[in-house]
Amino acid sequence: MLRASIRPVARSLVNGRRSMATASDLVTIDLPATSFEGYNLEVPELSFETSKETLLQMYKDMIVIRRMEMASDALYKAKKIRGFCHLSIGQEAIAVGIENAITPQDSVITSYRCHGFAHMRGSPVKEVLGELLGRRCGVSYGKGGSMHMFTTGFYGGNGIVGAQVPLGAGLAFAHKYNNEPNCTFALYGDGASNQGQVFEAYNMAKLWNLPAIFCCENNRYGMGTSAARSSALTDYYKRGQYIPGLKINGMDILACYQGSKFAKDWAISGKGPLVIEYETYRYGGHSMSDPGTTYRTREEIQHMRSKNDPIAGLKARLLDLGIASEDEIKVYDKKARKYVDEQVAEAEASPPPEAKMNILFEDVYVPGSEIPELRGRISDDTWSFEKGGFAKEFRY
């Protein structure tokens, strides 16, 4: 893949399974007691072992996502990206922590704040930015934009608020139905947490004991409304009632990693669903049209940046553990900047989708499984997959 320069090797420790790591490669991580809170649940161990390579990989992942999102910000302000664009600067630890704790066979589905997840699930930066720019190289071939990104094992990027939660329950049902040792992480924001479909999905998942992990990314502001003004119960991890819950410090990548590993192990062991709250923070507004400073102070944002930034926190850990030096970290940062800059240039140079009618229908069915004809709004709109054109010729 194009991001091989940033993600050069397979993880040596995934879900607690040591594949290539030796004793000298392992380090012991001790998390603070504030990392987790449980609801009808014993929280994960605060002390655990992981490999040095895993820690380095998580740092590289986060700086690439941060650079990618900063590039998206610049491209939008240059009016090269149009429409909606929701960035996750400050929330990188969640996508990276989850991906480093699971396998490609697990499923992930989320809301429209999805660029980091699409990248972590396997899409190069070029494909993510290409989609934002409306280019054919985009992960959805330039036809979906910011809120519609899909790749193998990643089911969006969903523009309808909260709709991904019952879809996530369906993905978990598929894993159970097919007797697969896998789970689904279904993520949603605190702004979507009060929707009825969320609780309907909880009910079905518990009733059928599905390997579903419902994850609320609580960034404290649903659009421009603080959690306290919109939710009677702001402990989102307690919302499952009959489903155990786990609150995770979403600004600490190591807490996200350990908590996500725990959640997967819980789900695939037959214990059923789990409700997680990742307590996090976005530095920007809800979308590019929101300055993000009318409903919170600049001082609050600066405090979170200076005291709780997930990248700075992991950097400090790497230095304290002697895993990397300041000079080595500068090299990683420089490589990430170079990689993203190259991917931006390639995405900008890519052509848009051709103005051909068949492009509108190419992703309706998996190639080879198409029906003969797809009905349109009227008979003249019916598309023939066999002909590769409209079933009826237009007469003017």
Q: Which amino acid is at 350?
A: S
| Rounded-to-integer distance, Cα 329 and Cα 152, Å | 31
- What is the per-residue pLDDT for 47? 98
pLDDT digits (tens, 9 = 90+) for 89-110: 999 999 999 999 999 999 999 9
Instruction: Please state whether beta strands 389-390 and 383-384 pair in parallel, antiparallel, or not at all (unpaired).
Output: antiparallel
Alpha carbon 368 to its chain's center: 30
List domains and CATH numbers for the chain.
Answer: 2-349 (3.40.50.970), 357-390 (no CATH)
In the chain, what is the greatest distance between 2 CA atoms, to the nearest angstrom?
A: 76
Distance, in Å, from the CA atom of 176 to the CA atom of 344, rounded to the nearest integer, reads 40
Helix, strand, coil in percent for the chain, rounding step 5:
45, 15, 40
Per-residue DSSP letter, 362: T
Q: What is the mean pLDDT of the chain?
A: 92
pLDDT at 5 over 50: no
Query: Of 381 and 318, which is predicted with more confidence?
Result: 318
Q: Give the pLDDT score at 109.
A: 98
Could you tell me the two tokens for 51? 């490999």
pLDDT at residue 18 greater than cutoff 90? no
pLDDT band at 367 (very low <50, low <70, confident <90, very high): confident
21 pLDDT band, cuts 50/70/90, is low
Q: Which band of pLDDT confidence, cut at 50, 70 and 90, is reported for residue 114?
A: very high
pLDDT at 6: 38
Q: What is the mean pLDDT of residues 64-77?
A: 98
Interstrand relation of 221-222 and 373-374 (parallel, antiparallel or unpaired): unpaired
Instruction: Give me the residue label for tokens 């709709």.
Output: 163
pLDDT above 90 coverage of the chain, percent: 84
Are 41 and 80 in contact by the 8 Å Cβ rule? The answer is no
